């Protein structure tokens, strides 16, 4: 995904137990400090937003690569998780690419390669890796 400038606005009320509203050009979400930090926990928190940014970048990049390769994709789904500790941070993406039932072995291999390429091309993931995060891709290609 391309580099660029994005702006958001946050309005926070109510101290630690309060809440915030984040608004961007298209994104609108409620924010909260996690319960583990004595917040309300009733909204998105920084780690959730961070893994969301990484996952969105990866799946958008993957979708673009799959489309450019003209692969017979029926859908792409993905689960992602983030683990943080004193030693560092790890994000795991588990994409599933469903190809049409008549997809060839060559197309399956191209879809698998696309997952690797998306990892290398994802701007957010690359920025996180430069900051010391580990990103793990555990993808699966299926024929429907």
Backbone angles phi, psi at 18, to 5 degrees: -80, -155
The helix or strand, by DSSP H or E, that contains position 128, with its residue range, turns out to be helix 123-130
Helix (H, G, I), strand (E, B) or coil at 50: helix
CB 78 within 8 A of CB 122: no
CATH number of 1-44: 2.20.25
Domain with CATH 2.20.25 in the chain: 1-44
Strands 88-99 and 134-137, by their bridges, are parallel
Delimiting residues of CATH 3.30.300.20 domain(s) in the chain: 46-143
Q: Is 3.40.50.2300 the CATH classification of the domain at 46-143? A: no
Q: What is the pLDDT of residues 13-61, one digit of tens each?
A: 999 999 999 999 999 999 999 999 999 999 999 999 999 999 999 999 9
pTM: 0.91
**Using one digit for the tens of pLDDT, what is the confidence trace for 83-137?**
999 999 999 999 999 999 999 999 999 999 999 999 999 999 999 999 999 999 9
């Amino acid at each position: 995904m391309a580099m660029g400038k994005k702006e958001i606005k946050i309005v926070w009320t109510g101290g630690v137990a309060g809440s915030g509203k984040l608004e961007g050009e298209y994104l609108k979400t409620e924010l909260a400090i996690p319960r583990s930090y004595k917040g309300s926990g009733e909204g998105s928190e920084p780690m959730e937003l961070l893994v969301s940014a990484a996952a969105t970048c990866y799946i958008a990049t993957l979708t673009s690569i799959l489309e450019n390769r003209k692969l017979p994709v029926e859908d792409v789904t993905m689960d992602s998780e983030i683990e943080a500790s004193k030693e560092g941070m790890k994000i795991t993406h588990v994409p599933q690419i469903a190809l049409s039932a008549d997809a060839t072995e060559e197309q399956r291999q191209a879809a698998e390669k696309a997952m690797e390429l998306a990892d290398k091309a994802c701007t957010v993931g690359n920025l996180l890796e430069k900051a010391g995060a580990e990103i793990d891709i555990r993808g699966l290609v299926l024929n429907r």
